[in-house]
Structure formats: structure tokens, C-alpha cells
Amino acid sequence: MHYEVFDIQSLALDIFEQLENKAHKRSIQLMLEKNYPEGIYVNADYSRISQVLINLVSNAIKYNQDGGWVKVRFDEKEKEVLITVTDNGLGIPEEDIARVFERFYRVEKSRSKKQGGSGLGLAIVKHILEGHNASISVDSEENKGTSFSFNLEKGVLNNEEVNIQRTDSI
């Protein structure tokens, strides 16, 4: 685990760019619910959290309908940042919700939609977040949509780093 302070909003935007083609093909919109011009800083493992967001946003695209949307939202708490990925897609049947984090578990309906996948994405997400002492929660309703949320420790930049960031963005 390699902890560092980074801007998770800008990571989310990079991931939107990576997944843009996939989403665009099915007219699915990827958006930030609110834009923070100063960024949103967390203290976490950059590459692992990048994996978490890729898996969650990919699922939100994959298990969506054409013309749907995926929203990422950040809520700053005193010591933590709450990150939520919401879609208005297929949703998860109530009887399956508890099992989606198990390795190889896939909801039968999504399988019948012929969506490829191994059923490992969310098991990896949960494992990475456990390594950050964070848990993930899911809220879903069939044919309405799904939302996954988790907390990360807020990142504090020292003045020097703030200056570097400002210089970088000029």
C-alpha cells in the first residue's frame, strides 16, 4: 500500500476519459454531480483507488440502459471524503444485493443480457477498500438504479505542495 495525497476529482475525470468511448457508444453520460474547482484531496493509494473507481464506473456503464447516466459525487466531511457512484441502470434485485461482493458472483439477469465479466470486480473493490480501513455500501432498486459509496481519509496538502499544484495548473 502506497499512501499519498491526491485529487480524487481529477482522477475521476481521467477515468471518465478512459471510459468515454464505451459510454458514448451507448449514449450514456458520465458526469460529476458537482464540480469543485479546487479539487478534492484524499490520502490513499492512488493506483488502487483508481482501480476501485474504474470497476465501479465500468459496472455503472455495463449494467445500464442506452441513454442512461453515471454520476460521481464527493461529500467532504470533517476528516473524510464520501465518494458515491450512482447510475440509473438495471439495478440489483434485493435478493442478490448481499452477494454482489462475493468472488465470481453475478446476478443471473445481467448474465442473460450477455454482458461479459468474471464477477471479480466488486470483490477486488471491497478488498482494496478493506486495505484502506474503509467499507463500501450499496443501495439499489431494480429497474431504477444503483449507488455505491465509500469513505476515504481527507488529504491535507502542506503549503509547498499547494504551491506545486498551483504552478502545475498554470
Contact footprint for ligand ATP (CB under 6 A): 55, 59-60, 63, 87, 89-92, 100, 105-107, 110, 117-123, 146
Owner of C-alpha cell 460529476? 32
User: Phi and psi for 168 in degrees, rounded to 5?
Assistant: -60, -40
The item of ligand ATP, Mg ion, none sharing an interface with residue 120, based on CB under 5 to 8 Å by kind, is: ligand ATP
Helix (H, G, I), strand (E, B) or coil at 132: coil
88 binds Mg ion (CB under 5 A): no
Q: At what angle do helices 121-131 and 46-62 cross, to 10 degrees?
A: 150
Site string for Mg ion, 29-68 (x = CB under 5 A): ------------------------------x---------
* DSSP single-letter state for residue 154: B
Minimum CB separation of residue 17 from ligand ATP in Å reads 20
The item of Mg ion, ligand ATP, none sharing an interface with residue 87, based on CB under 5 to 8 Å by kind, is: ligand ATP
* Sign of the torsion angle spanned by Cα atoms 18, 35, 82, 69: negative
